[in-house]
Structure 1
Amino acid sequence: MITENEIFNIKSPQDFESIAIDIFQYQYKNIPVYQNFCNLLNCNHQSVKSIFDIPFLPIQFFKSHIISDSNISENIFSSSGTTGSVLSKHYIANTNLYKESFTNAFNQFFGNPNEYVILALLPSYLEREGSSLVYMVNELIAKSENPESGFYLNNIEELIEKLNKLEAIGKQTILLGVSYALLDLIEKQSFQLKHTIIMETGGMKGRRKEMVKEELHTILKKGFGVRSIYSEYGMTELLSQAYSTGEGIYKCPPWMKVLTRDTEDALSLVKSATGGINIIDLANYHSCSFIATQDLGKVNDDESFEILGRFDVSDIRGCNLMVQ
């Protein structure tokens, strides 16, 4: 049985593939929904020798089935959605696995949280229960060990005052915000920030007209006076996140990998071309590590990736993507 320590200590592509195959075998045997799905595809689990042989479970299954190897859940994360829409639910058998994943990823991309003041402008997430993003950011705020860190809902004036104060003393700061709320903020006041990372996540949540990522980032860069806009890519159905430090180019932590599938043939993978985004998230040990999303994107030669939009047939849900 694979241990958490092995998942978060992957050193090479060979390590990743070996652990991914072991996790596939475990999930095939212990997650009935996934086993049934693989069987319907006539996948012989014993013949799987490569990650390219592994079936990817359509993300919609999280709306209609319990995807778990356990009858006991420590937590249940749910997606945001429009009124009356069916929400995805991720049943979490081991919350510590999620904590390990987002903490290790943050450390890899940004360093120790206690090096920053962490501010969160996430009104649409705070206004509902079950947000995995709020859970993550709340833990990172605690790990920052800084009384200046915290969440903001509708108290925009207070946030403006806090950003100006932290800028004046040169304190390294991260402001993570849902896109429409960041736009609301810079309409109240523009900034010239030299010590703050602006990180967007989520779309307009029905509060504003959707716009392409490039246009959004151009407006945010001007309004905050920064050279680049960072982005976080995660979703309810995953326990790991990818990050972009600018230009919409995302990179994964070592235990996460993005592949692209043919838009006309969901069972065929493509390289260096736009396709549906398939994600391997080894931190999803107790649910499913192999997810076929409704996102469109492209994987680059260095395994970084870009998000280009969504399948037209997919319903709108709380994912951090701009529609093109």
Structure 2
Amino acid sequence: MNHKNIFKIKTEDEFLSTALSVFHHQYANNSVYRAFCQHLNVSPKKVATLHQIPFLPIQFFKEKQILSTTESPQITFTSSGTTGTSTSKHFVTDINLYTQSYHCAFQQFYGPPEDYCILALLPSYLEREGSSLIYMVNNLIEKSNHPKSGFFLNDFENLKDTLEGLKVAKTKTLLIGVSFALLDFSEQYHLELKETIIMETGGMKGRRKEMIRPELHEKLKLGFGVDQIHSEYGMTELLSQAYSTGNGIFACPPWMKVLSRDTEDALTINGFKKTGGLNIIDLANINSCSFIATQDLGKTYADGTFEILGRFDHSDIRGCNLMAL
């Protein structure tokens, strides 16, 4: 397949055509995914729509090597995991697919990274190896080419001074951070940063009590003095990200789509506005698996946007017992 065509998708018809081509490619070249499809008695001859494509449960990335190519991995991204749990591994055989994906998406939603001073507050990610988020943010910081761009591990005082200096200079600024660190910082320093983009990447990582996104955003808006909190939605198993510019409503780049599945029947796709498990099509995952059933709960909308409402508990995805190979 011509990988470059993935990032040239503009219409729904182009997305469907490319998604079906990717499905055929991965069925033929990914032994784990093919066995999963065969277990469900689904073959390429039976698939003509997105709803008919089987979605691989995300936990397979913890148990199997998910590859649709014979090429060797250039880099392996790993999830953080929690104590006593196994981590996901995403074997990436072409890192250019990842860099092209996040650059094109960032450009679509925010414009060139060169227009910003990009600050990152991602302690839990910096403290381990293999984070795809750190890889992306580090590259965006390099692309921004602003002398103040950079990571702040636990140096809150320096971050405060930097933010206030950029505010005075009227510099376009993006602060991206993990939820618990943004909360810790905003509770220590109550700032007024009306023109600064504050972007949370989710996750308390066991550092603070989990809270629903509206509550989190209200606290962050108060602490940073902004009208909206932006969000980034991504994960180790994906090479693409969705973004929210406020109110917790996410939009995807043209090569990514989110569907909702029935919580009682994992093989049935919901209509719009109905809570369900989120299935993600990420065509940038051409060399691993582009069709993933996540453990996130949410709703999808007719305009292609979606929201996250929570996660399935540790009993895993209901109705997916048949998916264990």
Task: Give the TM-score normalised by the residue count of structure 2.
Answer: 0.95
Contact 2:276–2:297 at 8 Å: present in 1 too? yes
Does residue 1:13 correspond to 2:12, yes or no? yes
The equivalent of 2:94 in structure 1 is 94
Partner of 1:271: helix, strand, or coil? Answer: coil
Task: Give the TM-score normalised by the residue count of structure 1.
Answer: 0.95
Query: Which piece of structure 1 moves more, 45-54 or 148-157?
Result: 45-54
Contact 1:105–1:241 at 8 Å: present in 2 too? yes
Q: Structure 1 residue runs of 4+, over 3 Å off?
A: none
Query: Which piece of structure 1 moves more, 139-148 or 123-132?
Result: 139-148
Contact 1:172–1:195 at 8 Å: present in 2 too? yes
Contact 1:294–1:314 at 8 Å: present in 2 too? no
Query: Which piece of structure 1 moves more, 220-229 or 194-203?
Result: 194-203
For residues 86 and 199 of structure 2, what CA distance do their matches in structure 1 show? 28
The equivalent of 2:220 in structure 1 is 220
For residues 70 and 143 of structure 1, what CA distance do their matches in structure 2 show? 32
Identical aligned residues as a percent = 60
Aligned-residue offset at 1:314? 5.2
Q: How many residues of Structure 1 are paired with residues of Structure 2 in the alignment?
A: 314
For residues 145 and 227 of structure 2, what CA distance do their matches in structure 1 show? 28
Structural mapping, 1:1-324, within 5 Å: 1=1, 3-68=2-67, 69-272=69-272, 273-313=274-314
Aligned-residue offset at 1:202? 2.4
Query: Which piece of structure 1 moves more, 297-306 or 17-26?
Result: 297-306
For residues 62 and 17 of structure 1, what CA distance do their matches in structure 2 show? 25
For residues 138 and 256 of structure 1, what CA distance do their matches in structure 2 show? 23
For residues 212 and 48 of structure 2, what CA distance do their matches in structure 1 show? 39
Partner of 1:232: helix, strand, or coil? Answer: strand
For residues 93 and 192 of structure 2, what CA distance do their matches in structure 1 show? 44
State the one-letter code of the partner of 1:9. K
Gaps of 5+ in 1: 316-324
Aligned-residue offset at 1:71? 4.8
For residues 203 and 185 of structure 1, what CA distance do their matches in structure 2 show? 15
Write the deviation string for residues 95-134 of structure 1: whole angstroms up to 9, x where unpaired: 0000000000000000000000000000000000000000
Aligned-residue offset at 1:72? 0.6
Aligned-residue offset at 1:53? 1.2
For residues 202 and 299 of structure 1, what CA distance do their matches in structure 2 show? 19
For residues 233 and 5 of structure 2, what CA distance do their matches in structure 1 show? 23
For residues 64 and 134 of structure 1, what CA distance do their matches in structure 2 show? 24
For residues 289 and 260 of structure 1, what CA distance do their matches in structure 2 show? 16
What RMSD in Å do the two structures reach over aligned CA positions? 0.9
For residues 43 and 219 of structure 2, what CA distance do their matches in structure 1 show? 50
Query: Which piece of structure 1 moves more, 67-76 or 242-251?
Result: 67-76
For residues 121 and 287 of structure 2, what CA distance do their matches in structure 1 show? 30
